[in-house]
Amino acid sequence: MRRPKSPLSSLSLRRLLAGAAAAALLATGAQAFDTSARAAFVLDYTTGTVLLAKDADKAVPPASMSKLMTLYMAFEAIRDGRLKLEEELPVSEHAMSYGGSTMFLDTTDRVKVEDLLRGIIVLSGNDACAVIAEALSPNGTEAGFADLMTRRAQQLGMTNSSFANASGWPAQGHVMSMRDLTLLARHIIEDFPEFYPIFSERRFEFDGRAPQNVSNRNPLLRLDIGADGLKTGHTAEAGYGLVGSAKQGDRRVIFAISGLDSERARAEESESIVNWAFRQFAERKLVEKGKEVARAKVFLGNQESVGLVARDDIEMLIPVTPGTELGAEVVYTGPLQAPITAGQQLAELIITPEGLPEHRVPLFAAEDVPSGGFVKRMMVVSTNLISRLQTPAASSEAM
């Protein structure tokens, strides 16, 4: 497929885009976000646009952020009827033995699944993860559940994730990538909207036994920036990390960061990412359904060109900082051969916002272009023959 550079196609395309997005199209790539995280991935949920990727596919220790996988599988079990929210689960010696962030469970407890979910989401309870894991494990062990976690992650497209336990406790081979964590967050938001509001709860006081562990560690929930999830993580090896999500208006942003050196650095970096993602990018309508984008040359038709249109309105995320023009061009293999039928796919519109992935839109014929009659065909053949006769042969010039 070649890219025609005719003045007609280029000019009509620029005019259309300038009319559709007005001043928003006079935009340069948003200033790249220079994150101090060791690994990061930022996704505009609404459009699927990747805003930032830094070592996004590197498998790193996820700490408690991997609890999101345990939660996803628990949500699936509830949906499928294998667990019930009011069901009470026993606490094993193994679950009780966990240190770090816990619900302070012991073997005399039987805990409702609903409380265990809040204990994981709000309190980051390692013991609660083990209780859920042993209940859903094929052999009753946390290790057996971890194997299920790894297989389920692969099915969900999380190709850089493997699990050794349900909580993110440091262990060899327990790793996830920031892209995988963001994908998992997206699955939770999309697949289980009935459970997602729990992630925005700031406090959970379980049985009054742990007054020192009742607050959600997500620093974004205390800010007025639309944050409503998901999970923090910290170990000495992994550093401080966060899988976060925030919604402002119709837009949602999801991100995962890891490797910050303090709680404060994690909080500041997370807030900066959210503000940058919402302030530096905006969704704009670039093309209207049925409005001519450009014209493509037609060979042996009853007219010399055909209009190209999109079947739907085209809206996409673009940078909004004043600067240079948004890149866009029409590509097709041409000239196109008549006859052409209205609605026939003929070309692609490629829109390239600086610093963001290109966006490809199929374009279709706006009208029928029948084949030209005998006289038209003879005129084209004669014109081509005369043109060839008037042009000296390249081989003769070479001699």
Neighbours of 88 (CB within 10 A): 12
Structure tokens at 23: 């001043």
Catalytic residue list contains 54: no
Instruction: Spell out the alpha helix ranges (H) of the chain.
Output: 7-21, 67-80, 93-96, 113-121, 126-136, 142-155, 178-191, 263-279, 374-390, 394-398
Q: Decide if 56 contacts 179 (C-beta within 8 A).
A: yes
Residue 82: C-alpha distances to residues 73, 132, 135, 188, 212 (Å): 11, 12, 10, 18, 33
Phi, psi of 189 (to 5 degrees): -65, -45
Residues 6+ apart with CB under 8 A from 308: 292, 293, 294, 295, 296, 330, 332, 346, 347, 349, 363, 364, 365, 366
Catalytic residue among 9, 64, 177, 258: 64
Catalytic residue list contains 297: no
- Reduced to 3 states, what is the DSSP secondary structure of residue 272? helix
**What is the per-residue burial (b if ≥16 Cβ within 10 Å, else e) of 303-315?**
eebbbbbbeeebe
Q: Decide if 166 contacts 178 (C-beta within 8 A).
A: no
Pairing mode, strands 227-235 and 239-248 = antiparallel
Residue 193: C-alpha distances to residues 72, 123, 188 (Å): 12, 20, 7
**What is the per-residue burial (b if ≥16 Cβ within 10 Å, else e) of 171-194?**
eeebbbbbbbbbbbbbbbbeebee
**Nearest-angstrom CA–CA distance, 165 and 142:** 6
Catalytic residue list contains 66: no
Catalytic residue among 124, 167, 245, 270: 124
Catalytic residue among 54, 67, 231, 247: 67
Residues 6+ apart with CB under 8 A from 212: none
- Reduced to 3 states, what is the DSSP secondary structure of residue 383? helix
Q: Which residues are catalytic?
A: 64, 67, 124
